[in-house]
Amino acid sequence: MPNFTSLPPELLLEVVSHLHNPEDIRHFRLLSVRCACLARPLLFRHFGSSDRPASIHSVRRFLRILSKEPKLAKLTEYASVNWGFGDNDSHSDSEFDADMVIWDREVQDLNLRKNHPLRRTYWMRCGIDDGRDENIRLDHCYNKACIPLLLCKLPNLKTLEVVSAAIGWSSRNALWEGILNVFPALENLSWRSGSRKRYHINCIVPIIMRAPRLRSVSAAGCYGDRLQEIPTNTYFLPHTTGSITSLELSPSWLHPTSLDVLLQMAPKLVSFKSHHVAWFQVPLFWVHLLHVQDTLEVLELRVQRKSNIPSVLSRLYNFPRLKRLVADLNLVYDSSLGDALDMVLPRGLEYLEPVNGIYLGCPQKCLEAMKGIVKAKADGRMLCLKEVRYPPPPVDHPLYCPAEDARLREELKKTCVMYEVLLQYG
């Protein structure tokens, strides 16, 4: 019986091309020398994983490998890194000296200005005292900068996941200055805080501006004040057309003008999710969302306080393609609005889920309003509605009546069955 490892190379390549788990690839390499040679390039296709992002130590080791075999950088399509400096990321003097040789060459090849953040290590080596131990300063600075050095070397990177906050000098826009066309193939960007610390939105804006194929952006734990002063003509690639279709900020704390800048970068946006929006910023958010009113199909907007401004709900009608809506809808803040809410909802809406502010008034009136939305199918207004999700009973609400709530929920259930709308309780 022929041995598996004796199969023709093209068949072995076909087998290994279906291996996506790094552990499976490593096991395949152990079968024979031929398998090891065939599978080795695939080990660099994925760098880190969502469950175990690559540490700074792994990044430094990867940079050493790429300094000897730069062609391997073209193989990496997925990278998940932990941008943080921990106790386990320290290294010996000999390792640091070996890394510094690579560091010096990489920074010099980029031809950056003298006061560029990536040159900070040189300032530290010159003995500038900032109150910390010199070795700690060197380690911390190099570890913060070696991830940008690595990312700039991966031209075929399609998915980038960053965990933890990039704080201090490494979070500034200037970090990416002079590194042009860094992410020509990037399609998915996920950046989340690994702790209670938050990171500034400026960490990801330069990446977005340099990724012409970017489709999905997920930012958890970011904050930002105003981004309108960013020199966009400096950062945008000439061929950037803004191809982002999904933008998720949950939870994040953004100034409305920051959102305005992000939405201008995403004229083709299909899905937008934002949590922890301050209640007084809701009107501005709606104004800025008008940038994508002709493309948006999924909207999830959760207000930080359990409050809302009903007058902004009339803007929903301006989103003709909106199919899925999850939002703080205070249906009984104004009785007339609650009675005619179905008139302001988009005609193509298929899914509706009210959250948070729905119980500020009388819970029973909220249920009546939801029943009215479902009944609107009989009048030809909510013909596309297929599913609604309603919050659980507000047992702590002062106006909550268990018997009345149970009766109305049963009526809502029967109404949904009558008009073929799926009802779920959150």
Distances (CA, A) of 139 to 84, 89, 133, 148: 12, 9, 10, 15
First to last CA, the chain: 58
Please check the confidence at residue 330 and state whether its pLDDT lies above 80: no
The 10s digit of each residue's pLDDT in 22-80 is 667 677 767 777 776 766 677 778 888 888 888 888 888 888 888 888 888 888 889 98
Place of tokens 């948070």: 356
Average pLDDT over residues 154-177: 70
Mean pLDDT for the chain?
Answer: 76
User: What phi and psi values does residue 123 have, to the nearest 5 degrees?
Assistant: -65, -40
Nearest 10 degrees: Cα torsion 308, 309, 315, 319: 0
**Amino acid residing at 344:** V
Longest dimension (CA), the chain: 81
Specify whether the CB–CB gap between 124 and 130 falls below 8 A. Answer: no
Query: pLDDT at position 108, please?
Result: 74
Long-range contacts of 134-138 (CB under 8 A, 24+ apart): 138/96
Lowest mean pLDDT of 145-149, 175-179, 240-244, name the range.
Answer: 175-179
Residue 281 DSSP SS3: helix
Residue 329's nearest CA partner among 360, 298, 292 is 360
Specify whether the CB–CB gap between 174 and 149 falls below 8 A. Answer: no
The 10s digit of each residue's pLDDT in 245-293 is 999 988 877 777 778 778 888 889 999 998 776 666 677 777 888 889 9
Average pLDDT over residues 402-412: 89
Dist CA 91 CA 57 (whole Å): 8
331 vs 373, which has greater pLDDT? 373
330 vs 364, which has greater pLDDT? 364
Name the packing angle between helices 282-289 and 256-264 (round to 10°).
10
Please check the confidence at residue 333 and state whether its pLDDT lies above 70: no
Dist CA 187 CA 217 (whole Å): 9
Average pLDDT over residues 410-425: 92
Lowest mean pLDDT of 94-108, 244-258, 310-324, 402-416, name the range.
Answer: 94-108
The 10s digit of each residue's pLDDT in 112-126 is 666 666 665 544 444
